[in-house]
Chain A
Amino acid sequence: MAGEAQTPLLEFRGVHTHYGRIPVLKDVNYRVELGEIVCLLGGNASGKSTTMKTILGIVKPTTGQVLYEGKVINNMRTAERIKLGIATVPENRRLFPHLTVLENLEMGAYTRRDPDGTAVDLERVYELYPRVYERRSQRAGTLSGGEQQMVAFGRALMSRPRLIIMDEPSMGLAPALVDQSFDTIAEINKQGVAVFVVEQNATAALSIADRGYVLQNGRVVMEGAARELLENEELKRAYLGG
Chain B
Amino acid sequence: MANPFSRVGEVFGRVPRWVYVAAALVFAIVFPMLESYGLMQTLWLRLGTRTLVYVLLAVGLNLVLGETGLLHLGYVAFFAVGAYSTAILSSPRFDLQWNFWLIMVIAMLLAMLFGFIVGIPSLRLRGDYLAIVTLAFGEIVRMTLNNWEWLTNGPGGIPGIYPPVIFGWVVDQPAEFFYLLLVVVVIVVALVSNIKNSRIGRAWNALREDEIASHHSGVRPTQAKMLAVVMSSGIAGLAGAIFAYYQQFINPTYFLFMQSVIVVCMVVLGGMGSIPGAVLGAVALDATPEIIRQTFTTWLPRAVGSDFLPAVQAALQTDFDRYRMLIFGLVIVLMVIFRPEGLLPNQLWRREVHEEDPREIEHTRQHLFDFEEGRQDLEV
Q: Which of B198-221 contact A (CB under 8 A)?
A: 199, 202-203, 205-206, 209-210, 212-220
> CB distance B218 to A94 under 8 Å?
no
Q: Is A171 an interface residue (CB 8 A)?
A: no
With A96-B209, A96-B210, A103-B202 given, is the CB distance from A108 to B357 under 8 Å? Answer: no
Whole-angstrom distance between the Cβ of A242 and the nearest chain B Cβ: 31
Per the bound structure, the CA–CA distance linking A1 and B241 in Å amounts to 66
CB <8 Å contact, A79 and B380: no
Give Cα A107–Cα B208 distance, bound, in whole angstroms.
13
**In contact, B380 and A94 (Cβ under 8 angstroms):** no
- A window 53-91: CB within 8 A of B: 56, 58, 77-79, 82-83, 88, 90
Chain B interface: which of A12-20, A137-145, A196-204, A229-237?
A137-145
Q: How many residues does chain A have at the interface if contact means C-beta atoms less than 8 Å apart?
A: 29
Known A98-B348, A159-B218: A146·B213 in contact at CB below 8 Å: no
Please indicate the chain B residues that have their CB under 8 angstroms from the CB of A90 in the complex. 212-213, 216
**B209, A99: Cβ atoms under 8 Å?**
yes
Give A3-59 interface residues, CB cut-off 8 Å to B: 56, 58
Q: Is B357 within 8 A of A139, CB to CB? A: yes
- If A110-B199, A138-B360 touch, whether A99 touches B216 (CB-CB below 8 Å) is no
Bound complex: CA of A106 vs CA of B352, how far in Å? 20
For residue B351, CB closer than 8 A to chain A, the reply is yes
Q: Main SS of chain B's interface residues?
A: helix
Asked if residues B213 and A96 are in contact (CB atoms below 8 Å), the reply is: yes
Contacts of A77 in B (CB 8 A): 220
Smallest beta-carbon distance A31→chain B, Å: 23
Residue numbers in B under 8 Å from A95 (CB-CB): 210, 213
Hey, which chain B residues are within 8 Å of A207, CB to CB?
none
A139 to B214 Cα, complex, angstroms: 16
- Give every chain B residue within 8 A of A99 (Cβ-Cβ): 205-206, 209, 348
Q: Are B218 and A110 neighbours in the complex by a CB distance under 8 Å?
A: yes
Are B218 and A97 touching (Cβ within 8 A)? Answer: no
Contact in complex: A110, B217 (CB < 8 Å): yes
Interface readout for B334-352 with A: 1 if CB under 8 Å, 0 if not? 0000000000000010011
Query: Does B202 lie within 8 Å of A107, measured CB to CB?
Result: yes
**Residues of chain B lying within 8 A (CB to CB) of residue A103:** 202
B351/A79 in contact, CB under 8 A = no
In the complex the two chains form, what is the Cα distance from A98 to B215 in whole Å? 17
CB distance from B346 to the nearest CB of A (A): 10
Known: A78-B216, A159-B218. A97 touches B380 (CB 8 A): no
For residue A155, CB closer than 8 A to chain B, the reply is: yes
Q: Closest approach, in angstroms, between the C-beta of B200 and any C-beta of chain A?
A: 10
Q: Are A139 and B351 in contact (CB under 8 A)?
A: yes
Within 8 A of A (CB), among B328-376: 348, 351-352, 357, 360
Closest Cβ of chain A to B22, distance in Å, is: 28
Interface residues of B in 174-209 (CB under 8 A from A): 199, 202-203, 205-206, 209
Chain A residues proximal to chain B, CB less than 8 Å: 56, 58, 77-79, 82-83, 88, 90, 94-99, 103, 106-108, 110-111, 138-139, 142, 144, 146, 155, 159, 176
Sampled A-B contacts (22; CB under 8 Å) = A79-B218, A79-B219, A82-B218, A90-B212, A90-B213, A94-B210, A94-B216, A95-B210, A95-B213, A97-B209, A97-B210, A98-B351, A103-B202, A107-B213, A110-B203, A110-B218, A111-B217, A139-B357, A142-B357, A146-B380, A155-B217, A176-B380
| Chain B residues within 8 Å of A, Cβ to Cβ | 199, 202-203, 205-206, 209-210, 212-220, 348, 351-352, 357, 360, 380
New A-B pairs, 14, CB < 8 Å, besides A96-B205, A106-B202, A107-B214: A78-B215, A78-B216, A97-B210, A98-B348, A98-B351, A99-B206, A99-B209, A103-B202, A107-B206, A107-B217, A111-B218, A139-B357, A142-B360, A159-B218
